[in-house]
Amino acid sequence: MLSYPLAFFIAKVAKPHNVPTLFAILLIPLWSAKSCAPFAWFIVLSYHGPLNAILEGIGIFSGPVRWITGFNGVMIGLVYTYVLFMLFPIYNAIQALDSHQIEAAEDLGAPAWKIHWRIVIPHSKPGIASGCVMVFMLSPARSSYPACSPRPARAGSPKSSSNGCSNRRTGTLVLPTPSCCLSFAPASSP
C-alpha cells in the first residue's frame, strides 16, 4: 500500500532531475549497517521516543504507545525493510506507462481515482505481482523470528520460555501470498 503511491509519484509526478535524489534518499537505509538499524528503530519506537512525541503533538494519541513490545514493532521493521523491494518493480511498471494515456483520460474528464483504477493499476499489475513475490517470500520468515526465539524468564520462572514457533500472525502473512500473486499475475493466452 505504501509502495504504490510512492512509485507513482517518482515515476509520473516528480521532475526527472529529482528522481536520482529521491532514489538516493530511499536507498540510504539499505546502505546503513544491519547492526545500526535495530538501535535506531529502538530509539524511534521507544516509549518516550520521537514517534510518540509526534503522534501526541498532532493529537492522534493522548498518551505514549508501547510500539516495541509486540507484533507492531516487528511489522514496522518489516515495512521499513521491504518497502523498496515492492517499490522498484512497481516503479518500473509505471515508468513504462505512456503518459498520453493518463492525459487522454484527464482530458475526457475522468477523476484521478478512476484513472488509477482503469489505466495505471492494470498496467502496473506485473510490477505488483513481482513485488508481492519478492516481499512475501522474505517477510514470513522474518516475522516468525520473534515468535521462535526464546524469551527471558519471567520472575519466579526457572527457565526461559518459547512459543514453539506457533505464531498465528505469521500464518496471516503466509496464507494470502498465493492469492495475491495470482490475482495480479497477467493472464496467459491459450
DSSP letter string over 26-37? HHHHHHS-TTHH
Please, what are the domains in the chain? Answer: 3-148+165-184 (1.10.3720.10)
Measured CA to CA, the distance from residue 48 to residue 65 in angstroms comes to 9
Amino acid at 177: T
Residue 67 buriedness (CB in 10 A; 0-12 / 13-18 / 19+):
buried
Measured CA to CA, the distance from residue 132 to residue 128 in angstroms comes to 6
Residue pair 11/93 in contact (Cβ under 8 Å)? The answer is no
Please state whether 135 falls in left (phi above 0), alpha (psi between -120 and 50) or beta: alpha
pLDDT tens-place values along the chain, 190 residues long: 778 888 888 888 889 899 888 888 887 766 666 667 777 778 888 888 888 888 888 888 888 888 877 677 777 777 877 888 888 899 999 999 998 999 999 999 999 999 999 999 999 999 999 988 888 887 776 655 555 544 555 555 444 444 444 445 545 555 555 555 555 555 544 4
pLDDT at residue 32 in the model: 67
**pTM exceeds 0.85:** no
pLDDT at residue 163 in the model: 46
